[in-house]
Amino acid sequence: MSSEQRGVTVWFTGLSGAGKTTINDELTKRLRDRGVNLEVLDGDIVRTNLTKGLGFSKEDRDENVRRIGFVSNLLTRNGVIVLVAAISPYRAIREEVRDRIGDFVEVYVSTPVEVCEERDVKGLYAKARSGEIKQFTGISDPYEAPKNPEVNCETHKESLDESVNKVIGKLEEMGYLPTAVVA
């Protein structure tokens, strides 16, 4: 891709098991096929490397999102498309990060909690319901859905392809990606 690429942070938010990482992984493949300069910040990986030591209190969750936002801002302003997949349950901190970065596309993966529980391969929802895991988003801790996300992916109603195409379409529409030429 040319050096004229505009940086943007694409922030996937939603419950655990909603499909954030799945959409993000497929989007990453498609953007790399187009030669896009991008970086992926997955919430689980970031917690292991950048925000180790933070717990799951509201303050720690906000600090986790702030740190991801800080790195995203650095990359975005240097022409990188940043793909973030993080539960980021609180609306106010997502808005704070949006305001700081500016070039920001919020993707709400709006899958109902019942569907997320059915998909839960790690058994986290069962542990949360039994009280084994405290402060679990969507069960014992709140999730504040975005009011006006740029993209809403309903993974319980649409295919992976449809969700990814929605995100790509929005990035093209907003001028962050050139429109793909279909041969």
Q: Which of 176, 140, 153 is nearest to 85 (CA)?
A: 153
How many whole angstroms separate alpha carbon 92 and alpha carbon 13?
A: 13
pLDDT score of 2? 44
pLDDT per residue of the chain (183 residues) written in tens, 0 to 9: 444 789 999 999 999 889 999 999 999 999 999 999 999 997 777 777 776 677 777 888 888 889 999 999 999 999 999 999 989 999 999 999 999 999 999 999 999 989 988 988 888 888 888 888 887 887 878 899 999 999 999 999 999 999 999 999 999 999 999 876 554
Tokens of 102: 């500016």
pLDDT score of 55? 73
Q: Which CATH class, in words, describes the domain spanning 8-112+145-172?
A: alpha beta
Q: Are 13 and 30 in contact (CB under 8 A)?
A: no
- Position of tokens 């497929």? 26
Beta carbons within 10 angstroms of residue 122's beta carbon: 10
Q: What is the pTM of this model?
A: 0.90
Q: Is 16 annotated in some ligand binding site?
A: yes
Q: Are 103 and 6 in contact (CB under 8 A)?
A: yes
Coil, strand or helix at 112: coil
Active-site annotation, residues: 88
Coil, strand or helix at 15: coil
- Position of tokens 């009011």? 147
Sheet-wide strand order for 38-42: 38-42, 81-85, 8-13, 104-109, 151-153
Q: Is 27 annotated in some ligand binding site?
A: no
Q: Is 17 annotated in some ligand binding site?
A: yes
Q: Is 183 annotated in some ligand binding site?
A: no
pLDDT score of 97? 96
